[in-house]
Amino acid sequence: MKKRILSFFAIGLCIATGASAQSIAPSTINSNGGFTTIGGNSYEWSIGEMVLVHTATAGNVVITQGLLQPNKHSGGSAVSESQFIFDRVKVYPNPAENMFFLDADFKESGVLQSILYDLNGKIIEQKEIAAKGQREKLSYNISALSAGNYMLIVSFTSDGNQKTISKAAYKIEKTN
């Protein structure tokens, strides 16, 4: 009986050490990035990721870590994180102690929306204004927040014939 239990234990130990679960390591967390379209292809880039490139395939699915791949849009409404919004939106001062400002200068009319999140994904403050093709300035009072990092997501939806949504993310650093 003792030999049987010991045998089952040994077999179980061999199975446990031989089995492995799915792993996503190594992985990356990008600190910033963007999106643009060149020649009909969409390109995404990131700042702060590893230079290691690893490709994994399973059937017709290909995942490449370390390289953001082009994607051709099929037309219609496009959602993008583009250089367009980074060129027209300034967030300052950053780091900030009590106040920071979002200064937007769009040449066309549309809807400008901003959402300030904490790092747990909780919405701290949300603002939406109708941009009229002129400079808009929004202020954020963060004096009541604790010191740390926050995320400001800014999006602009144009009023043109082909509605486009441009988005960008800004890391806001609150100091004391």
Set out the domains of the chain in order of their start, with CATH numbers.
20-72 (no CATH), 78-174 (2.60.40.2550)
Bridge-based pairing state of the strands 78-80 and 164-174 = parallel
pLDDT of residue 32: 61
What is the phi-psi region of residue 60: left when phi exceeds 0, alpha when psi lies from -120 to 50, beta otherwise?
A: alpha
User: pLDDT tens digit string along 113-172?
Assistant: 999 999 888 999 999 999 888 888 999 999 999 999 999 999 888 887 777 778 888 899
pLDDT surpassing 70 at residue 88: yes
Query: Residue 100 has which token pair?
Result: 């920071």
Residue 64: pLDDT band by 50, 70, 90 thresholds?
low
- Sort 79 into a burial class: Cβ within 10 Å, 0-12 / 13-18 / 19+: middle
Using pLDDT thresholds of 50, 70 and 90, give the confidence band for residue 76: very low
- Range with the largest mean pLDDT of 32-41, 57-66, 119-128: 119-128
Over residues 28-55, the mean pLDDT reads 61
